[in-house]
Amino acid sequence: MASSSKTEQKKMLILKSSEEEEFEIEESIAVQSGTIKNMVEDDFTLIPLPNVDTETLIKIIKYMKKHGEKTKSNEKDIEEFDKEFVKKSFTELKELVLAANYLHITSLIDLLCQAFADRIKNKSVKAIREIFGIPNDFTPEEEAEVYEQHKWAHEEGKEHIDHSAY
């Protein structure tokens, strides 16, 4: 029996964003997401993602495509891509990490968490609260006590503290 053409038809999936927009993607690339992988194993080819909006899904697909073509020779290239990928506002990063967590894309979760860590490293307490929208639930006495217990952290590198929330 003559074999079919060398370039086999790659299995494609359709990912659907919360805004009902559809995106075609190779299955081999999409299964970098543990969530999608599970659905594929249950024979889904149309994958609804009601938790991921279009804008975020486009970015995630871009990430998976880049990482799907990882070879020994393009490691540096992918590193550069990753570096650029996280140069986004905190709002965008938050949307991305929520989606990456939902989709179980381990490498992307790592990348995003590292980006958050790098960016909050020298921030003040107030700036961190603002970035994440966290209300201060300490009473003034509790806050003073906690501050005192961690005085060493506030004193160290005092000159470099960043009060900006972006």
Partner 1 sequence: MGSNFFINDNQDVLIEILKRLDGRSLGVCACVCKLWCGITRNDSLWEHLCFRHVSPPPEGVRTVVVALGGYRRLYMVCVRPVLNRLRKWRPIGMETDAEIVRRVYWTRHEVELSLSLFCVDYYERVLLGGGG
Q: Which of 24, 75, 143, 163 binds partner 1 (CB under 8 A)?
A: 143
Residue 80 binds partner 1, judged by CB under 8 A: no
| Nearer of residues 46 and 128 to partner 1, judged by Cβ | 128
Q: Which of 137, 140, 159, 164 binds partner 1 (CB under 8 A)?
A: 137
Residue 40 binds partner 1, judged by CB under 8 A: no
Write a three-state SS string for the chain.
Answer: CCCCCCCCCCCEEEEECCCCCEEEEEHHHHCCCHHHHHHHHCCCCEEECCCCCHHHHHHHHHHHHHHHCCCCCCHHHHHHHHHHHCCCCHHHHHHHHHHHHHHCCHHHHHHHHHHHHHHHCCECHHHHHHHHCCCCCCCHHHHHHHHHHCHHHHHCCHHHCECCCC
Contacting residues toward partner 1, per CB under 8 A? 53, 55, 91, 94-95, 97-98, 101, 109-110, 113-114, 116-118, 120-125, 128-129, 132-138, 142-143, 146-147, 149-150, 152-154, 156-157
